[in-house]
Amino acid sequence: MNNKIGVHMLVFTAGFSEKDLDYAIGTAKEIGYDYIELPLLNPYAIDVDLAKKALQSHNMQAVCLLGLSFDTDISSDDPDVRQNGQKLLWKALEVSAGLGAWYLGGVIYSAMAKYLKPATEENRKYSAEFLAQLAEKAKSHGIKIGIEPVNRYESNLVNTGRQAIEFIKLSGSDNIFVHLDSYHMNIEENDQSTPVHECQDYLGYVHINENHRGYLGSGSLDFTSLFHALADIKYTGPIAFESFSSAVISEDFRSSLAIWRDLWTDSKDLASRAKTFIDNYLYAAYRNKQ
């Protein structure tokens, strides 16, 4: 089991002040995580030197994630909107490189929002063509680009693992990978194991979420099937715990993700139990394959 295990910064804090960074990164390190996910919701506002200093002081690695808005949708029919999104993603890549991150992903192919009509082939083409350019530049920094399929209420472009593979093929890039998330898989896929097997040659990142984004094991997701599928394909890539509560996230992010309930309030307890949960499921799944 060589998987690096990470945790999303929004489990701990929504801020990027020195105090916030020290708390989130330090607590993640103390619990035993290998890296932390930094949300670049506004990459222009990130103090790269401050964040890098915090990472180095705790000997922690980072990856970067973000979601686009309707104003920065690179799949849009409006060329000005696409240009806004391209500018944002170039900045996100610059910040990721400055932080020494080895991964940049998320909903970076469309707006992370509910669309009122299906995506067109032109929308897919706009997005795939630009992300191929971004991925090529990212390669020079040692950064992989991830496409995270999300549920129908958060994108109309990529909702399943199969669609992510089709998107990657359309881009023609060898530096774009599939980023599966158990929360979104629960809504859009037939089960938790099939997409893992289907994406075997493209899978580069995995998010572990409960169906209600609360404590792992307190919901209805079939984690046994998911982890056994990862063991089946001998997946050795990163696995990260992601969970959101209105007790931590910003009002804007809460609204965009429809986080209306506090499923947890104790960040450290949540993250500690999640780390143990993931470790135990990984051990059991891989042990079963020996």
* pLDDT tens digits, one per residue of 33-88: 999 999 998 999 999 999 999 999 999 999 999 999 999 999 999 999 999 999 99
Q: Given a cut of 90, is residue 246 above it in pLDDT? A: no
For residue 249, is pLDDT > 70? no
Query: Is residue 242 flagged as an active site residue?
Result: yes
Residue 268's pLDDT is: 94
Cα 32 vs. chain centroid, distance in angstroms? 20
User: Each residue of 78-111: pLDDT tens digit?
Assistant: 999 999 999 999 999 999 999 999 999 999 999 9
Q: Mind listing the pLDDT tens digit for each residue in 130-142? A: 999 999 999 999 9
What is the CATH classification number for the domain harbouring 243? 3.20.20.150
What count of residues does the chain have? 290
> Is residue 188 predicted with pLDDT exceeding 70?
yes
Identify the weakest region by mean pLDDT among 96-105, 177-186, 211-220, 254-263: 254-263
| Pairing mode of beta strands 35-39, 176-181 | unpaired
Domain that includes residue 51, residue range: 5-288
- Number of structural domains, the chain? 1
Tell me: pLDDT of 254 over 60: no
Q: How confident is the model at residue 194 (pLDDT cuts 50, 70, 90)?
A: very high
**Residue 154 known to be catalytic:** no
Burial 145-171 (b: 16+ CB within 10 A, else e): bbbbbbbeebbbbbbbbbbbbebbebb
Query: What pLDDT, on a 0 to 100 scale, did the predictor assign at position 180?
Result: 98
What distance in Å separates the CA atoms of residue 257 and residue 17, rounded to the nearest whole number? 23
Q: Which of 37, 121, 148, 198 is catalytic?
A: 148
pTM of the model: 0.94
Catalytic residue among 37, 154, 210, 242: 242
pLDDT at 258: 61
